[in-house]
Copies of this chain bind each other. A is one copy, B any other.
Amino acid sequence: MTRDQIRDADGVALYRHEAIAAVLQVRRVDDVERLTVLLSRRRDEPFAGLFALPSGAVETGEALDAAVLRHLAAKVDVSGVTHLEQLGTRSDPGRDPAQRTIATSYLGLVPTSSDPALPERARWEPVDALPALAFDHGIVVAEAVERLRAKLSYTNLGFALMPTEFTIAELREVYVAALGHDVAPTNLQRVLTRRGQLVPTGELSRAGTRGGRPARRFRFAEASLIVTDPFAVLRPEG
């Protein structure tokens, strides 16, 4: 704890500050689409050998979101990250047993179409079967998943998980994996269409080898976060 005592010229305590990235992607694991998170096995103490989220210190003159992207770039092609938003800041003095560190976590999303090469120690792991994680990173993953699931319900955040064009069946598979429960394709299309999120491209997919009607292709109307279903109850309609 002696390291915490470092102060500036005014006597104000100074802290390490780091950025943590919980990057989620729907990936095919054992022939099933699963919601996964990018992890990296730690080389050094503390928690050497355990999996952890990509994270690292904020540099001089650098904003937090820039720091997340910089540390993320060491693990994955950041041009594939279609959405990034702040989750929260964790400050429990004991969260890093080595030294006092305040950490701000971010949720990142990568579309199914992207499959970037990973360095040796990094892997995508399904969020519903995680190993023990270093620090409080398990909680951060849980917060990231919760945020994603909530926003899939009242925003157009699905765009960040999908390629630019897709069929309803493909969209459904991603929603099922991300939400963790079944979704009826009929209702998925209706809800997202009514909210103006889905636009048909006019093109059709080829039918599969076992036959069936060719599926229409769609894209999301907007490629950035929009609240499409604001939960404003008690608002007069006039």
Taking beta carbons and an 8 Å cutoff, which residues of A are in contact with B?
Answer: 1, 3-6, 8-9, 12-17, 57-65, 86, 88-89, 91-93, 99-100, 102, 104, 150, 152-154, 175, 179, 181-184, 187-188, 191, 229, 231-236
Question: When chains A and B are docked, how far (Å) is the Cα of A235 from the Cα of B184?
Answer: 9
Residues in B with CB closer than 8 Å to A232 are: 153
A61/B4 in contact, CB under 8 A: yes
Question: When chains A and B are docked, how far (Å) is the Cα of A153 from the Cα of B235?
Answer: 9
Residues in B with CB closer than 8 Å to A231 are: 150, 153-154, 229, 231
A187/B3 in contact, CB under 8 A: no
- How many copies of the chain does the oligomer comprise? 2
Question: When chains A and B are docked, how far (Å) is the Cα of A99 from the Cα of B91?
Answer: 21
Residues in B with CB closer than 8 Å to A188 are: 234
Nearest to A65 among chain B residues (CB) is B91
A64/B93 in contact, CB under 8 A: no
Residues in B with CB closer than 8 Å to A64 are: 89, 91, 102
Minimum C-beta distance from A2 to chain B (A)? 10
B102/A233 in contact, CB under 8 A: no
Further pairs besides A6-B6, A152-B234, A154-B231: 6, Cβ < 8 Å = A1-B61, A15-B17, A61-B100, A88-B88, A89-B104, A181-B236
With contact pairs A8-B99, A89-B86, A99-B8 given, residues A58 and B234 touching in the complex (Cβ less than 8 Å): no
Minimum C-beta distance from A10 to chain B (A)? 8
Question: When chains A and B are docked, how far (Å) is the Cα of A46 from the Cα of B74?
Answer: 38
Q: Of B1, B61, B93, B234, which is within 8 A of A183 by CB? A: B234
